[in-house]
Amino acid sequence: MVVDGVVAIGAALAAGSLTLMAFGFDSVIELASAVVLMWRLDVELRLGQRFSEHAERTARRIGGALLFTPAACIVAGAGWSLWTRHAERFSMPGLAIAVLALPIMILLARRKIAIAARIQSRALRADAVESITCGWLSFVVVTGLLADAVTSLAILGFVVKEAREAWNGEACCVHDPP
C-alpha cells in the first residue's frame, strides 16, 4: 500500500492524472483502514469479546468515514477536472503500478470478505471494501488513463453505499459468499 501510494501519487503529479491521484490517495486510506482493523483485532485478542464489541463499533465507524473520504475526493477532483477541462497525460509508472495492484487487490479483498463473514465483522468488511475500491481504481487507471475525470466517478455509488452501511452498522456479510 505504501509503494502503491507513493508511486501512484508521484506518477499522478507528473502526468496530471486525477485517476492516478485517486488511486494513490486510496492506497493511503487503505493503509489507515488496515491500521484501524489491526487495532480492533488486537483489542479482541488482548481483552476478549466483551471489549471487542466496542472496538468493532469504533472500527466500523472509522472504516465508514475512511470510505466516505475517497468518495468526496473523487467528486471534488472530477468536478474540478471537468470544470477546468484538464486532460491527463499518459504515465508508464502509473500504469505499471495499477496493473500490478489489480490482481493483488482482488485476492486480498476476497480473503478479507470471507474472513469478515466468518467472524461477522463489519469493520473487516469495510477494510475489504477499501481493497475492492483500490482494485476498481486500478482497473479504472488501466482502462482509462487517457480518459477524462468521468472515469473516476465509475465506482462512486459502490463506495458511498458501503460507507453508509459501515457507518450505520448494517448487517454484515449476509449476501456475501463464504
Query: Residue 126 maps to which CATH number?
Result: 1.20.1510.10
Mean pLDDT value across residues 84-99: 73
Q: The domain containing residue 33 runs over which residues?
A: 2-168
Strands (E), 105-169: none
pTM for the complete prediction?
Answer: 0.65
Residue 178 inside a domain? The answer is no
pLDDT of 146 > 80? The answer is no
Q: Estimate the crossing angle of helix 18-47 against helix 122-144, to 10 degrees.
A: 160
CA nearest neighbour of 41 among 121, 125, 146, 126: 121
pLDDT of 111 > 90? The answer is yes
pLDDT at position 89 is: 63
Degrees to nearest 5, angle at CA 130 with 127 and 134: 150
pLDDT at position 91 is: 72
Confidence category of residue 110, pLDDT binned at 50, 70, 90: very high
pLDDT at position 115 is: 92
Residue 173 inside a domain? The answer is no
Residue 62 inside a domain? The answer is yes
Number of domains in the chain: 1
Residue 177 inside a domain? The answer is no
Residue 175 inside a domain? The answer is no
pLDDT of 70 > 80? The answer is no
Give the count of beta carbons closer than 10 Å to the beta carbon of residue 3: 11
